[in-house]
Amino acid sequence: MAILFFCEALAEVAKVTSDSAAIAALRELLRRLPEPVPLERITVTADLEVLFHGGTSPREEIRASLEGRVIYDADGMPIGKLTKVSVTQAPTYTSECVSSALNRAIDDILEAVEAPATGLRDGLNLLVNAAMSYLKGEADDLEEVVAPNWDADTTLRDVLSWVEDGT
C-alpha cells in the first residue's frame, strides 16, 4: 500500500512545471511517507527540458549547479547538502531499434514453442504492429493498425480470425 501511495504522490509531483513547485511537491511527498526516508542516497529524475525551460544544458553544468545545494526537510530545516551529484542521460531508442527488438523477441518466442504459421504468430505480429503504430502516433485503434501493415484486402476481422483459428 505504501508503494501505491508513493507512486500516486510521485505522479502528482511530476505534473508541476517549475523548480520551486517541484521542490514544494517533493517536500510534501517526503513528509507524507509512512517510513523515514533514507538520507544516504536520494535519486531524483527530472526532465531536463522542463528544468531548463525548453532548452537543454550540458550535463557537467547541471551537475555543477546541483552540487552543494542544501536539502531541507518538510519543516524547512536544512538537513544536508547534495554531494556526489551525477547527471546521466536516460537511454533513448529509435522506433527502428524498438521494432527490431520486438520482432526478434517474437521470433525467439515462436521458435521456442515451435508455433505454427497462424495463431500465436499472428497475435504477436498484431501486438508489435499495434505497439509501434501507437508509439509513432500512426493509429488510434486496431483497424488503423491493420490497414498499413497487411495487404489492402486484409481486414482486422481477418487478422483476428487467424489468431482465433490458430489457438
Is residue 87 in some structural domain?
A: no
The last residue of one of the domains, among 26, 48, 81, is: 81
Distance CA 8, CA 28 (A): 13
Is residue 113 in some structural domain?
A: yes
Is residue 90 in some structural domain?
A: no
pLDDT digits (tens, 9 = 90+) for 74-122: 777 777 777 777 766 667 788 888 999 999 999 998 889 888 878 888 9
Q: How far apart are the first and last CA of the chain?
A: 38
122 in the same domain as 65: no
Q: Which three cell numbers stand for residue 152?
A: 489492402
Is residue 10 in some structural domain?
A: yes
**The pLDDT value given to residue 81:** 77
**The pLDDT value given to residue 138:** 92
Share above pLDDT 70 across residues of the chain, in percent, rounded to a whole number: 59
75 in the same domain as 20: yes
Tell me which of 113 and 53 has the higher pLDDT: 113
Is residue 16 in some structural domain?
A: yes
**Whether the predicted model's global pTM rises above the 0.75 cut:** no
- Mean pLDDT over 143-165 rounds to 93
**Total of domains in the chain:** 2
Residue 81 φ/ψ, nearest 5 degrees: -115, 150
Is residue 86 in some structural domain?
A: no
In eight-state DSSP terms, residue 44 is -
68 in the same domain as 6: yes
103 in the same domain as 74: no
Q: Residue 76 region, left (φ>0) first, then alpha (ψ -120 to 50), else beta?
A: left
Distance CA 137, CA 162 (A): 26
Burial label for 82, CB within 10 Å (0-12, 13-18, 19+), is: middle
Say yes or no to pLDDT of 4 above 60.
no
Is residue 77 in some structural domain?
A: yes
Question: How distant is the alpha carbon of residue 53 from its chain centre?
Answer: 21
111 in the same domain as 59: no
Domain interval for residue 22 = 2-81
123 in the same domain as 57: no
